[in-house]
Amino acid sequence: MGFSFFLVFVATFLLFIFLVSLYSLKLFFFDTKTTTSTGGKVPPGSLGWPIIGEGIAFYRAGKNGAPESFFFERIKKYSSNTFKTSLIGESITVLCGAAGNEFIFANERKLVTIWLPPSIKKILNSNPNQHQKSPSSGSAAGEDETKMYRKFSNHLVKLVNVGLIDTIARKHFEENWENQKEVTVYPLVKNYTFCLACWLILSIDDRTRVEELSKLFGIVMAGLMSVPINLPGTKFRRAIKAAKIVRKDLVTLIRQRKMELSTTSSFTMEKKPLNKQDLLTQMILSGEDGEDNVMSETDIADKILGLLLGGHEPPTVVITCIMKHLAEHPEVYNEVLKEQTDVIKSKAPGELLNSDDIQKMKYSWNVACESMRLATSSSGAFRQALSDFTYEGYHVAKGSKIYWSSLSTHKNPEYFPEPEKFKPSRFEGDGPAPFTYIPFGGGPRMCPGREYAKLEILVFIHHAVIKYRWEKLLSGDDKLIFNPLPLPVQGLPIRLHPHPTKK
Ligand code: HEM
């Protein structure tokens, strides 16, 4: 008894000493510098605790449904739109406000370039060291990648025809919504966006295969949002494994497709298969025109993995949030229903939607925009300084990590009065001021999938509203939690009320 008490005492004492040392370390090495060695001014802010930095405060703000509070508290405390913090084990300079957004977007590839946290690269890239050139290499890292995304996004725009999305949406509603009294929105929408992405990117529509892939992507996504500890049983380790399986699967698919493409018709000398004009075929053929480098199989697999992930998760979140807002605002729902009914009236029974119909969905798009403002699915992104520069009087050293945040403007009353209110009318007329509303980012790295996302969102909302009214099953209890993507706590369970059919 006496000895175990002694052990507990020693352990507590050591823990105390450890915490005091950490705190001293934090005070002396992390937070005190106000000037750099060359005399430049360091942005104000705290780097928090060693290793964990201010990660807990950031995570807590999201968990409480107000991730913007992390930014606003610091802007207020330091009276500055630029501050330093420490997240994911890195010291980071955060640029807030419309001016900060504009600065980042205008200086892409000049002063800043993309930076991915090592944990994300470990999951998404087969060779995590290959894709991010160091700023010292002198070239703007990611430039080729951005050019490649632009090219494929142009192709995607040609591929994505509204009728095709409409066909997939109709099938989705028939198979998953019809005859249901209650549904949970998030997993169903995920099924819709993932099926769509698999078809447009890979020409895969086999249900079992899509389901298998979807499960693997679920594991990858959970790992991306987890603590990056690579130990057996952790979400992070499972995500690395799942991504490896997807990549292996994709490489097999790439080889099959290459074989099919090399079967040249002796009559027309054209490459087959002509029916698979998806993004995969484009990537395999890229380089044949002499404009770009030929992509290796692993490179294509990495890019497809990223596109499938980025191409279905953000639109899923956006559609789920729109469904939530429509349930909470019957007056907005009625306006959307009126607009969508007008679209139907101008068409023959069963006729598929086309791009003219999309043009008529202005109010519905305003509703989507307002949902994206309140529940931004991509709340910001990292950059790295390509050279030393000064911003708002603060010195940013070459190689520093930077973060731009859409939350600092989307929820700012200066740009959006009564920011917590759901008001689609904000997007009427000229809409928000430049660089204040940036759900798809901006500048050269602006989301290449935004047009595709717009179509899949509007077509989905068209069918949901034309077929049903709905009410939330968890009234008040399902606030949005940002982890880091915004989602209703239990995936938004709803009760469906089909519209009475006219006799
Ligand atoms: C509502 C849906 C979507 C939202 C809110 C969204 C948001 C964003 C944002 C904010 C960025 C910029 C990140 C940065 O500055 O570093 C981005 C980039 C990107 N998005 Fe999206 N996205 C959506 C849908 C899609 C879709 C459907 C695809 C593809 C099919 C896609 C593919 C990409 C890719 C490849 C990039 C990287 C571009 C580059 O690094 O040059 N996104 N997205």
Q: Please choose, from the candidates 439, 199, 235, the residue with its C-alpha nearest in 3D space to the C-alpha of residue 312.
A: 199
Ligand 1 centroid, distance to 394 Cα (angstroms)? 30
Q: Whose CA is nearest to atom 43 of ligand 1?
A: 447
pLDDT for 49 equals 82
**Gap from CA of 315 to ligand 1 centroid (Å):** 10
> Exposure string (b/e) for 377-389, b if CB count within 10 Å is 16 or more?
bbbbbbbbbbeeb
Omega before 67 within 30 of 0, i.e. cis: no
| SS3 label, residue 428 | coil
Q: In this predicted model, what pLDDT tens digit does every residue of 426-445 receive, in sequence order? A: 999 999 999 999 999 999 99
Decide if 34-140+379-443 and 142-377+447-503 have a common fold.
yes
pLDDT digits (tens, 9 = 90+) for 178-218: 999 999 999 999 999 999 999 989 999 999 999 999 999 99
Q: Which ligand 1 atom sits closest to the C-alpha of 193?
A: 27
- Span 331-339, mean pLDDT? 98
Domain ranges of the chain: 34-140+379-443, 142-377+447-503
Q: Write down the pLDDT at residue 37.
A: 63
pLDDT digits (tens, 9 = 90+) for 28-76: 455 556 666 666 798 999 988 877 889 889 888 888 888 999 999 999 9
Give the Å distance between the CA of 490 and the centre of ligand 1: 25
- What is residue 471's three-state secondary structure? strand
**Beta-ladder partners of 395:** 390
One-letter-per-residue 3-state SS of 365-397: HHHHHHHHHHCCCCCEEEEEECCCEEECCEEEC
- In CATH terms, 34-140+379-443 corresponds, of 1.10.630.10, 2.30.30.280, 1.10.3470.10, 1.10.10.10, to 1.10.630.10
Q: How far is the CA of 442 from the centre of ligand 1 (A)?
A: 10
Structural contact between residues 194 and 218, judged by C-beta atoms closer than 8 angstroms = no
| pLDDT value at residue 133 | 45
CA–centroid distance for 313 within its chain: 7
Tens digits of residue pLDDT in 464-487: 999 999 999 987 656 777 767 788
On whether ipTM exceeds 0.90, the answer is yes
Q: List % helix, strand, coil for the chain (3-state, nearest 5).
A: 55, 10, 35
Mean pLDDT of 165-185: 96
Pocket test for ligand 1, best of 440, 445, 482, 485 (most atoms within 8 A of CB): 440
Would the CB of 318 count as within 6 Å of ligand 1? yes
Tokens of 217: 């992507």
SS3 call for 322: helix
Which residue owns the Cα nearest ligand 1 atom 14? 381
Residue-wise pLDDT tens digits, 279-329: 898 888 886 666 667 788 999 999 999 999 988 999 999 999 999 999 999
Which residue among 124, 407, 447, 482 has the greatest number of ligand 1 atoms within 8 angstroms of its CB, and so is best to mutate?
A: 447
CA of 356 to the centre of ligand 1 (A): 25
- What pLDDT sits at residue 339? 98
Q: Are 356 and 410 in contact (CB under 8 A)?
A: no
Give nearest CA residue, ligand 1 atom 7: 440
Atom of ligand 1 nearest to the CA of 383: 16
* Residues 197, 314 contacting (CB under 8 angstroms): no
pLDDT score recorded for residue 295 = 85
Asked if the model's pLDDT at residue 85 lies above 80, the reply is yes
380 lines ligand 1 (CB under 6 A): no
* Assigned token pair, 102: 């504009």
What does the pLDDT look like over 103-152, one tens digit per residue?
999 999 999 999 988 888 889 886 765 544 444 443 444 566 777 777 77
What digits encode the pLDDT tens for the residues 445-469? 999 899 999 999 999 999 999 999 9
> Nearest Cα to 124, choosing from 12, 242, 44?
242
Architecture of domain 142-377+447-503: Orthogonal Bundle (1.10)
Is the CB of residue 438 below 6 angstroms from any atom belonging to ligand 1? no
* Percent with pLDDT over 70 in the chain: 83
Report the greatest alpha carbon distance in the chain: 93
Separation of 372 CA from ligand 1 center, angstroms?
Answer: 13
Strands 90-95, 401-405: pairing is parallel
| 397-433 pLDDT per residue, tens | 999 999 999 999 999 999 999 999 999 999 999 999 9
User: Which numbered atom of ligand 1 lies nearest the CA of 453?
Assistant: 27
pLDDT of res. 137: 42
Beta bridge partners of 95: 82, 404
307 lines ligand 1 (CB under 6 A): yes
- How much is the pLDDT for 266? 46
Contact 345/407 with Cβ under 8 angstroms? no
CA 464 to ligand 1 center in whole angstroms: 25
The response to whether residue 445 sits with its C-beta less than 6 Å from ligand 1 reads yes
pLDDT band of residue 492 (cuts 50, 70, 90) is very high
Q: State what percent of residues in the chain have pLDDT above 90.
A: 61
96 is in an annotated binding site: no
The rounded distance, in Å, linking the Cα atoms of 291 and 15 is 61
Cα of 218 to ligand 1 centre, how many Å? 18
Cβ contacts of 460 within 8 Å, gap of 6 or more? 169, 189, 192, 319
Residue located nearest, by CA, to atom 16 of ligand 1? 381
> According to the model, what pLDDT value does residue 8 have?
57
Ligand 1 atom, smallest distance to 443 CA? 15
Q: What would the mean pLDDT of 347-365 be, rounded to a whole number?
A: 96
The tokens describing 211, both together, are 């389901």
Rounded to an integer, what distance in angstroms lies between the CA atom of residue 90 and that of residue 81? 19
Closest ligand 1 atom, residue 441 Cα: 10
**How many separate helices (H) and strands (E) can be counted in the chain?**
17, 12
